[in-house]
Amino acid sequence: MQSSFQVPDILSYLGLPQDYNPLPSADPIEFLKRHLYQLPPNITQSFSLVTTPKQRTAITEIRNRRLKFTESKPPSLSFAAARNAWPTLWQGRERIGQEEGKDEQEWAKLSFLGGAEQQVGGLAKLLGDMEEEREAERVRFIRRMQASDDFVPEEESDSEGEEDEVQESESPEEAKALFERRIRERFIYGLLEGADYDSVDWDELLDVEDDRVAEERWFDDD
Protein backbone atom coordinates (compact mmCIF):
# COMPACT_ATOMS: atom_id res chain seq x y z
CA MET A 1 0.00 0.00 0.00
CA GLN A 2 1.18 3.52 -0.67
CA SER A 3 2.42 5.36 2.38
CA SER A 4 0.25 8.39 1.57
CA PHE A 5 -2.81 9.39 -0.40
CA GLN A 6 -1.57 11.46 -3.34
CA VAL A 7 -4.50 13.14 -5.09
CA PRO A 8 -2.37 14.84 -7.81
CA ASP A 9 -0.77 11.51 -8.71
CA ILE A 10 -4.15 9.79 -8.96
CA LEU A 11 -5.59 12.49 -11.22
CA SER A 12 -2.46 12.59 -13.34
CA TYR A 13 -2.56 8.82 -13.85
CA LEU A 14 -6.08 9.10 -15.25
CA GLY A 15 -5.31 12.23 -17.26
CA LEU A 16 -7.83 14.26 -15.29
CA PRO A 17 -7.54 17.97 -14.40
CA GLN A 18 -6.53 18.86 -10.86
CA ASP A 19 -9.91 20.54 -10.29
CA TYR A 20 -11.80 17.41 -11.37
CA ASN A 21 -15.12 16.78 -9.64
CA PRO A 22 -15.52 14.64 -7.63
CA LEU A 23 -12.05 14.88 -6.14
CA PRO A 24 -10.81 11.59 -4.67
CA SER A 25 -10.05 13.39 -1.43
CA ALA A 26 -13.46 15.09 -1.15
CA ASP A 27 -15.69 12.24 -2.32
CA PRO A 28 -13.59 9.06 -2.59
CA ILE A 29 -16.58 6.73 -2.83
CA GLU A 30 -18.11 8.50 -5.82
CA PHE A 31 -14.66 8.75 -7.40
CA LEU A 32 -14.15 5.00 -7.03
CA LYS A 33 -17.60 4.29 -8.45
CA ARG A 34 -16.50 6.04 -11.63
CA HIS A 35 -12.86 5.02 -11.92
CA LEU A 36 -12.21 1.84 -9.91
CA TYR A 37 -11.59 -0.28 -13.01
CA GLN A 38 -9.24 2.34 -14.49
CA LEU A 39 -6.85 2.32 -11.54
CA PRO A 40 -4.19 -0.29 -10.75
CA PRO A 41 -4.15 -1.99 -7.32
CA ASN A 42 -1.12 -0.01 -6.12
CA ILE A 43 -3.25 3.15 -6.42
CA THR A 44 -6.63 1.81 -5.32
CA GLN A 45 -5.06 0.40 -2.15
CA SER A 46 -4.29 3.94 -1.02
CA PHE A 47 -8.04 4.61 -0.79
CA SER A 48 -8.03 2.52 2.39
CA LEU A 49 -6.50 5.60 4.01
CA VAL A 50 -9.57 7.75 3.31
CA THR A 51 -12.44 5.23 3.35
CA THR A 52 -13.76 2.54 5.68
CA PRO A 53 -14.93 -0.97 4.73
CA LYS A 54 -18.47 0.07 5.59
CA GLN A 55 -18.31 3.10 3.28
CA ARG A 56 -16.90 1.00 0.44
CA THR A 57 -19.97 -1.25 0.64
CA ALA A 58 -21.74 1.37 -1.49
CA ILE A 59 -19.54 0.39 -4.45
CA THR A 60 -21.15 -2.48 -6.39
CA GLU A 61 -17.86 -3.88 -7.69
CA ILE A 62 -16.38 -4.07 -4.21
CA ARG A 63 -19.47 -5.76 -2.78
CA ASN A 64 -19.21 -8.37 -5.50
CA ARG A 65 -15.52 -8.93 -4.88
CA ARG A 66 -16.43 -9.65 -1.27
CA LEU A 67 -19.22 -11.94 -2.41
CA LYS A 68 -16.92 -13.95 -4.64
CA PHE A 69 -14.38 -14.13 -1.81
CA THR A 70 -16.96 -15.54 0.64
CA GLU A 71 -18.14 -18.06 -1.96
CA SER A 72 -14.59 -19.44 -2.13
CA LYS A 73 -14.99 -20.56 1.51
CA PRO A 74 -11.83 -18.83 2.79
CA PRO A 75 -10.27 -20.27 5.97
CA SER A 76 -10.44 -16.85 7.65
CA LEU A 77 -14.26 -16.99 7.55
CA SER A 78 -14.63 -20.67 8.42
CA PHE A 79 -16.72 -21.58 11.44
CA ALA A 80 -13.75 -22.36 13.70
CA ALA A 81 -11.79 -19.25 12.73
CA ALA A 82 -14.81 -16.93 12.87
CA ARG A 83 -15.96 -18.22 16.26
CA ASN A 84 -12.51 -17.44 17.68
CA ALA A 85 -12.16 -14.10 15.91
CA TRP A 86 -15.67 -12.81 16.69
CA PRO A 87 -16.83 -14.67 19.82
CA THR A 88 -19.49 -12.06 20.67
CA LEU A 89 -21.38 -13.01 17.50
CA TRP A 90 -21.49 -16.63 18.62
CA GLN A 91 -23.90 -16.24 21.52
CA GLY A 92 -27.42 -17.66 21.72
CA ARG A 93 -30.28 -16.59 19.48
CA GLU A 94 -31.57 -13.62 21.47
CA ARG A 95 -29.50 -11.08 19.54
CA ILE A 96 -30.33 -12.33 16.04
CA GLY A 97 -33.24 -9.96 15.45
CA GLN A 98 -31.38 -6.89 16.62
CA GLU A 99 -28.22 -7.70 14.65
CA GLU A 100 -30.07 -8.51 11.43
CA GLY A 101 -32.18 -5.39 11.84
CA LYS A 102 -29.00 -3.32 11.92
CA ASP A 103 -27.68 -5.14 8.85
CA GLU A 104 -30.81 -4.28 6.91
CA GLN A 105 -30.54 -0.64 7.94
CA GLU A 106 -26.92 -0.52 6.81
CA TRP A 107 -27.87 -2.02 3.43
CA ALA A 108 -30.62 0.54 2.89
CA LYS A 109 -28.42 3.47 3.88
CA LEU A 110 -25.39 2.47 1.82
CA SER A 111 -26.79 0.62 -1.16
CA PHE A 112 -30.43 1.43 -1.92
CA LEU A 113 -30.80 4.33 -4.38
CA GLY A 114 -27.11 5.12 -4.05
CA GLY A 115 -27.35 5.68 -0.32
CA ALA A 116 -29.09 9.09 -0.57
CA GLU A 117 -29.75 9.81 3.10
CA GLN A 118 -32.84 11.94 2.58
CA GLN A 119 -34.42 9.26 0.40
CA VAL A 120 -33.66 6.14 2.36
CA GLY A 121 -33.46 7.21 5.98
CA GLY A 122 -37.06 6.20 6.58
CA LEU A 123 -36.65 2.96 4.66
CA ALA A 124 -33.57 1.97 6.66
CA LYS A 125 -35.42 2.48 9.94
CA LEU A 126 -38.46 0.61 8.64
CA LEU A 127 -36.43 -2.44 7.56
CA GLY A 128 -34.63 -2.57 10.87
CA ASP A 129 -37.84 -2.16 12.85
CA MET A 130 -39.55 -4.88 10.83
CA GLU A 131 -36.75 -7.38 11.46
CA GLU A 132 -36.66 -6.61 15.18
CA GLU A 133 -40.45 -6.84 15.41
CA ARG A 134 -40.44 -10.25 13.72
CA GLU A 135 -37.96 -11.55 16.27
CA ALA A 136 -39.85 -9.91 19.15
CA GLU A 137 -43.10 -11.52 18.01
CA ARG A 138 -41.43 -14.94 17.86
CA VAL A 139 -40.19 -14.51 21.45
CA ARG A 140 -43.64 -13.39 22.63
CA PHE A 141 -45.23 -16.43 21.00
CA ILE A 142 -42.81 -18.84 22.67
CA ARG A 143 -43.45 -17.24 26.07
CA ARG A 144 -47.21 -17.54 25.61
CA MET A 145 -46.87 -21.20 24.72
CA GLN A 146 -44.71 -21.81 27.78
CA ALA A 147 -47.29 -20.11 30.01
CA SER A 148 -50.12 -22.32 28.80
CA ASP A 149 -49.73 -25.71 27.15
CA ASP A 150 -53.29 -25.43 25.86
CA PHE A 151 -52.90 -21.95 24.41
CA VAL A 152 -53.64 -21.70 20.68
CA PRO A 153 -53.01 -18.23 19.16
CA GLU A 154 -55.90 -16.86 17.14
CA GLU A 155 -55.52 -16.29 13.38
CA GLU A 156 -52.12 -18.02 13.29
CA SER A 157 -51.64 -20.71 10.65
CA ASP A 158 -50.21 -24.13 11.40
CA SER A 159 -47.18 -23.29 9.25
CA GLU A 160 -46.38 -20.27 11.44
CA GLY A 161 -46.58 -22.43 14.56
CA GLU A 162 -44.38 -25.05 12.98
CA GLU A 163 -41.83 -22.39 12.00
CA ASP A 164 -41.65 -21.10 15.58
CA GLU A 165 -41.25 -24.66 16.87
CA VAL A 166 -38.38 -25.29 14.44
CA GLN A 167 -36.67 -22.03 15.44
CA GLU A 168 -37.08 -22.86 19.14
CA SER A 169 -35.64 -26.34 18.68
CA GLU A 170 -32.79 -25.21 16.46
CA SER A 171 -30.18 -27.91 16.08
CA PRO A 172 -26.43 -27.31 16.54
CA GLU A 173 -26.01 -27.73 12.78
CA GLU A 174 -28.65 -25.07 12.10
CA ALA A 175 -27.10 -22.72 14.64
CA LYS A 176 -23.70 -23.21 13.01
CA ALA A 177 -25.12 -22.56 9.53
CA LEU A 178 -26.87 -19.40 10.71
CA PHE A 179 -23.67 -18.12 12.34
CA GLU A 180 -21.66 -18.76 9.16
CA ARG A 181 -24.31 -16.96 7.11
CA ARG A 182 -24.20 -13.96 9.44
CA ILE A 183 -20.41 -13.85 9.21
CA ARG A 184 -20.59 -13.84 5.41
CA GLU A 185 -23.26 -11.14 5.36
CA ARG A 186 -21.45 -8.91 7.82
CA PHE A 187 -18.25 -9.27 5.81
CA ILE A 188 -20.00 -8.25 2.59
CA TYR A 189 -21.65 -5.28 4.31
CA GLY A 190 -18.31 -4.10 5.74
CA LEU A 191 -19.47 -4.72 9.31
CA LEU A 192 -17.01 -7.44 10.35
CA GLU A 193 -14.59 -5.59 12.58
CA GLY A 194 -10.98 -6.67 12.23
CA ALA A 195 -11.47 -8.54 8.94
CA ASP A 196 -8.85 -8.14 6.22
CA TYR A 197 -10.88 -6.08 3.76
CA ASP A 198 -7.92 -4.54 1.95
CA SER A 199 -6.76 -7.84 0.47
CA VAL A 200 -10.26 -8.38 -0.96
CA ASP A 201 -11.56 -4.95 -1.90
CA TRP A 202 -8.61 -4.13 -4.16
CA ASP A 203 -8.12 -7.59 -5.68
CA GLU A 204 -8.91 -7.41 -9.42
CA LEU A 205 -8.79 -11.21 -9.65
CA LEU A 206 -12.08 -11.30 -7.75
CA ASP A 207 -13.94 -9.38 -10.44
CA VAL A 208 -16.75 -11.25 -12.18
CA GLU A 209 -18.05 -10.87 -15.71
CA ASP A 210 -21.32 -9.29 -14.67
CA ASP A 211 -21.14 -7.76 -11.20
CA ARG A 212 -24.78 -6.72 -11.04
CA VAL A 213 -26.07 -10.18 -11.96
CA ALA A 214 -23.90 -11.76 -9.28
CA GLU A 215 -25.10 -9.26 -6.67
CA GLU A 216 -28.76 -9.76 -7.50
CA ARG A 217 -28.31 -13.54 -7.40
CA TRP A 218 -26.85 -13.34 -3.90
CA PHE A 219 -29.70 -11.19 -2.58
CA ASP A 220 -32.30 -13.45 -4.25
CA ASP A 221 -30.73 -16.56 -2.72
CA ASP A 222 -30.86 -15.06 0.78
42-79 confidence digits (pLDDT tens): 999 999 999 999 999 999 999 999 999 999 999 999 99
Examine the pLDDT at 160 and tell me if it is beyond 50: no
pLDDT at 151: 35
Q: Comparing 173 with 137, which gets the higher pLDDT?
A: 173
Examine the pLDDT at 212 and tell me if it is beyond 50: no
pLDDT at 109: 60
Q: Comparing 164 with 81, which gets the higher pLDDT?
A: 81
Examine the pLDDT at 15 and tell me if it is beyond 60: yes
pLDDT at 93: 42
The mean pLDDT value of the chain amounts to: 75
- DSSP per-residue letters across the chain: --SS--HHHHHHHHT--TT-SS-TTT-HHHHHHHHGGGS-HHHHGGGGGT--HHHHTTSHHHHHHHHHHHHT--GGGSHHHHHHH-GGGSS-STTHHHHHHHHHHHHHHHTGGGG-HHHHHHHHHHHHHHHHHHHHHHHHHHHHHHH-TT---TT--HHHHHHHHHHHT--HHHHHHHHHHHHHHHHHTT--TT---HHHHT-GGG--S-HHHHHHHHHHH-
